[in-house]
Amino acid sequence: MQVVNMREAKSKLSSLVKSKETIIITMRSKPVARIEALSPIEASLIQAQEALKNTGISEKDAAEILKRARQKIYASRD
């Protein structure tokens, strides 16, 4: 885990994100935010959500479909 202040995070955001490491951002030496890489499964689900939006399915229905998918994925891990 890497800790950076807000000014450094703003100037190096691209490289921080590419590191795929958890980043804690501070303001006045106090932690205020966390940046974390998405798991491959979560990234795929987000892409699927965007694809569903483009099919004409309502955003509510797309969210429900993905909620069920997440439940099945995470239940199968147990």
Q: Find where tokens 């980043």 sit.
A: 23
* pTM metric for this prediction: 0.62
| pLDDT tier for residue 63 given thresholds of 50, 70 and 90 | confident
Rounded distance, CA 60 to CA 24, Å? 32
Q: Find where tokens 């885990």 sit.
A: 1
The model's pLDDT over 6-51, given as tens digits with 9 standing for 90+, comes to 999 999 999 998 898 999 999 999 999 999 988 888 888 888 888 8
Residue-by-residue DSSP string for 9-42: HHHSHHHHHHTTS-EEEEETTEEEEEE-PPPHHH
Judged against a pLDDT cut of 70, whether residue 77 lies above it is answered with no
